[in-house]
Amino acid sequence: MKPKNQRLALLSAALIAVLVAVLLAMWGLKDRASYFYTPADITAGKAGDGQPVRLGGMVKRQSIRRDADGVTIRFVVTDGKAETPVMYRGIVPDLFREGSGAVAEGRLQGGTFVADTILAKHDERYMPPQLGNLSAEHKAGKTLQK
């Protein structure tokens, strides 16, 4: 191959690679990205049944119940405006507790959110950015109730 053609071939190969990466990513992201919803969004019907989503909010006080098998827990996630019941089978993460922030990954099944994974606030100072506003709203709501 002549040097000039070689450079042309390399350049087009690089461009094709970029194009392929973008197309593959677009195809994959179309139905594999899971949206982050709050209980208010769920109540508004934003998430279809069975669609993978993340649910974020505060764990409602006195809402954690345990099933008879000992490893399934049920609790309610709230954002101050609406509430969503959640079911999870497994050991809840460190720092998962009533009244603090949590994010559940899973899907909605007949009104209950079935979680595959639960992520909790990792330490006292750390708050997922998505929950930053939420916690302020929640606190404001609570003072009003008092």
Partner 1 sequence: MTAEAGLAALWLAAGLAAYQFLLMILALRSKIAVARPMRAVAVVQGGLTLIAFAMLLLAFARSDMSVALVFENSHSAKPFIYKVAGAWGNHEGSMLLWVTILAVAGSFVAMLSRRTSELTLVAGLGSQAVLALGFYAFLLIASNPFARLYPPPPDGQGLNPLLQDPGLAFHPPTLYLGYVGLSVAFSFAVGALLTGEVDSRLARAMRPWVLGAWIMLTLGITAGSYWAYYELGWGGYWFWDPVENASLMPWLAATALLHSINVLAARGALKAWTMMLAVIAFSMSMIGTFLVRSGILTSVHAFAIDPERGTFLLALLGIYVGAAFALFAVRGATLKEGAPFELVSRESGLVINNLLLSVILGIVFLGTLYPLFVEAMSGEKLSVGAPYFNAVAGPLALVLASLVGIGPLLSWRRERRTIWGQLKVPALLGGAALAITIFLAPDIGILPRLGFGVAAFLAAASVLPLIGRNPFRAPLETWGMVIAHFGIAVALGGMAANTAFTSERLAVARPGEILSLGPWLVQLQDVTPTAGKNWTAVEAELQASRGAGAVTLKPQTRYFSNPPAETNEAAIQTFWNGQLYTVVGKADPSGGWQLRLWWKPFVTLIWGGGALIALGGALALFGRLWRVRRRRGSSAQWRKERYA
Contact residues: partner 1, CB under 8 A: 1-4, 6-7, 10, 13-14, 17-18, 20-22, 24-25, 27-29, 32-36, 52, 54, 66, 69-71, 89-95, 103, 105, 122-130, 132
Distances (CA, A) of 94 to 120, 123, 146: 7, 9, 30
Cβ closest to partner 1, residue 21 vs residue 44: 21
DSSP 38-105: -HHHHHTT-SPTT--EEEEEEEPTT--EE-TTSSEEEEEEE-SS-EEEEEEESPPPTT--TTSEEEEE
Of 11 and 140, the one with the shorter C-beta distance to partner 1 is 11
CA distance linking residue 89 with residue 144, whole number of Å: 35
CB of 85 to partner 1, least distance (A): 20
Question: Shortest Cβ distance from residue 83 to partner 1 (Å)?
Answer: 19
Residue 83 one-letter amino acid:
E
Nearer to partner 1, 18 or 144 (CB): 18
Cβ of residue 145: shortest distance to partner 1, in angstroms? 26
Q: What do you get for the CA distance between the two ends of the chain, in Å? A: 81
In the complex, what is the shortest distance from the CB of residue 39 to partner 1, in angstroms, rounded to a whole number?
A: 14
**Which residue has tokens 């709230």?**
78
Closer CB to partner 1, 69 or 143, in the complex: 69
